[in-house]
Structure 1
Amino acid sequence: MYGICNLSIVPLRLEPTDLSEMVNQLVFGEHFTVLEKFKKWSKIKLSYDGYEGYIDNKQYENISEELYHQLNNQEQYYSGELIDFIFDKDNNLTTVPLGARLPFYKDNSFSLNDKTFSYEGKVNHGILNKQSIVETAYHFLNVPYLWGGKTPFGIDCSGFTQTVYKLCGFKLLRDASEQATQGDVLSFIEESEPGDLAFFDNEEGTITHVGIVMNDYNIIHAHGKVRIDKLDHSGIYNTDTQQHTHKLRVIKKIV
């Protein structure tokens, strides 16, 4: 079985209950495999990054296997506005956040199952240059931190980097520890360029944080909110508290 998210933002939970923690989110247009289906919940696996969790059965539409594979092989178009509206043929409105997928987009319209929608906002499509990574990251500045979030209404550190890279045409895995397995290691911070990823670990050596390198040894990352701090050989230096908050582990060049 297969499904697609037909609502603006839907929580993906660790366990099949509304009381369980949100570990990720689906945004409009994301499709997935249904691994198990229960009375109220489905265990799913996202096509984009393979992430698994539980979603409420009332918060998605079933799609055919044929459509699932078409979506996998189709060029991807994403909403480029922080928040915008889509309209169906009866002029019913649905809000979509930055990064929502627009399946089969062409000439300001797209389709989801047998429904056609119009969308007149900015569209992100194709592979952009590396400088676009930092430019896109600025759109999320001051967005509040939210565990499992990946939208302008709340985002976590790896949701931030994944979404920014996605909008620029590059694929990252979901969690910081997974993203750290991608790309090439840089030996020194001086080798880094704007758009590279910096990873940080805890006292046990587990990678728990990630941010995007900027010019002049700055970094943009989600910590309390999406913010800009200084990056040095020790890690992140918080410009508000005047202290280091994260210990640098490695810098990776993805692009």
Structure 2
Amino acid sequence: MKYGICTLALVPLRLEQAHRSEMVSQVLFGELFEILDEQADWTSIRLLETDYLGWIQNGQFQELNDLDMQHYLTGTPIIVGREGGVLFTDTAQFQLCHGTKLYLDAENTVNLSSLRLTYQGSINPFTSNQFETEVSRLALSYKDTPYLWGGRSQWGIDCSGFSQLIYGCFDLSLPRDAYQQAEKGETVDFISEIKVGDLAFFDNAEGRITHVGIMLDRDTIIHASAQVRVDRMDTEGIFNAEQNRYTHKLRIVKRYN
């Protein structure tokens, strides 16, 4: 079994092995994956944390042997904070996006056999115990972030990437796509029982779950639709006051903590 680690700040994960192919997600620096198939310009991977599949361009990652991976994972895990941070050497540096997970050694470095980078920047301060008190503030800091299909960062994000990122900052792991997230958690049976941080899911005309948002209270939701925005929600779904219509039909509400 062969493994790899993403060695750039943020790279596309494609459905097929071509630049014109759909970007199904993004891979952040330090994310680990199993290598499934190697071609001349592209490699098929399975992300270890979420089991998500896709193609990454060769040159955007480094292969790891078992010793390298075990050594990397012995570091102290941190998550890059909302203000971001940089990794640098004597000759180069690049910016990391909020939510990036790193394993740092005692000298604050990412230390692999052929790669040594020092981290400088903010560190996510939250724990799962702070979820109810802090999740709204963190989610609202993303307001007006542009929507990007497959996006996972403040530079562009989709609906399930948004919920996954925010939850991850509280050490709560979610699958990548909305329909996968809806398969987890406990169902909230009534709108009146909704709590801050619950996830609301919405389906299309065929009954397939295609959208998710984070509840700020029992009738207010923050979600990524054209941009990260705040709207009202009731038993019918999300009501967009600017368009004066319901834009998403409610299917189910789930709780994870």
TM-score by structure 1 length? 0.93
Q: Could you say which residue in structure 1 is the equivalent of 2:228?
A: 226
Q: Secondary structure of 1:16's partner?
A: coil
Q: Could you say which residue in structure 1 is the equivalent of 2:78?
A: 77
Distance 2:237 2:71 in 1: 43
Q: Secondary structure of 1:195's partner?
A: coil
- Residue-by-residue CA offset, 1:91-110 (whole Å, 9 max, x unaligned): 52111111112223556x12
8 Å contact kept, 1:76–1:126: no
Q: Could you say which residue in structure 1 is the equivalent of 2:22?
A: 21
Amino acid paired to 2:37:
E
Identity %: 38
Residue correspondence of structure 1 range 228-243 to structure 2 within 5 A: 228-243=230-245
Offset of residue 125 of structure 1: 5.9
Q: Secondary structure of 1:204's partner?
A: coil
Offset of residue 28 of structure 1: 1.0
Offset of residue 76 of structure 1: 3.1
The equivalent position to 2:159 in structure 1, one of 157, 160, 163, is 157
Q: Secondary structure of 2:167's partner?
A: helix
In structure 2, relative to structure 1, the CA distance for the partners of 1:5 and 1:125 (3 Å cut) is farther
8 Å contact kept, 2:24–2:150: yes
Runs of 4+ in 1 over 6 A off after TM superposition: none
Q: Secondary structure of 1:86's partner?
A: strand
Q: Could you say which residue in structure 2 is the equivalent of 1:113?
A: 112
Offset of residue 72 of structure 1: 6.2
Residue 45 (structure 1) aligned with residue 46 (structure 2): yes
Distance 1:182 1:69 in 2: 29
TM-score by structure 2 length? 0.92
Q: Secondary structure of 1:245's partner?
A: strand
Offset of residue 66 of structure 1: 3.3
Residue correspondence of structure 1 range 1-255 to structure 2 within 5 A: 1-69=2-70, 76-88=77-89, 90-104=90-104, 106=106, 109-114=108-113, 115-124=115-124, 127-128=127-128, 129-131=130-132, 132-215=134-217, 217-255=219-257
In structure 2, relative to structure 1, the CA distance for the partners of 1:73 and 1:134 (3 Å cut) is farther
Amino acid paired to 1:214:
L
Unaligned runs of 5+ in 2: none
Amino acid paired to 1:173:
P
Amino acid paired to 2:189:
S
Amino acid paired to 2:255:
K
Distance 2:208 2:44 in 1: 27
Distance 1:250 1:71 in 2: 39
Offset of residue 135 of structure 1: 2.1
- Residue-by-residue CA offset, 1:146-170 (whole Å, 9 max, x unaligned): 1101011111000000011111110
Unaligned runs of 5+ in 1: none
8 Å contact kept, 2:87–2:94: yes
Offset of residue 74 of structure 1: 6.4
Distance 1:57 1:82 in 2: 30
In structure 2, relative to structure 1, the CA distance for the partners of 1:112 and 1:160 (3 Å cut) is farther
Distance 1:196 1:73 in 2: 33
8 Å contact kept, 2:192–2:218: no
In structure 2, relative to structure 1, the CA distance for the partners of 1:125 and 1:47 (3 Å cut) is farther
Amino acid paired to 2:160:
S
C-alpha root-mean-square deviation of aligned residues, in Å?
1.8
Amino acid paired to 2:168:
K
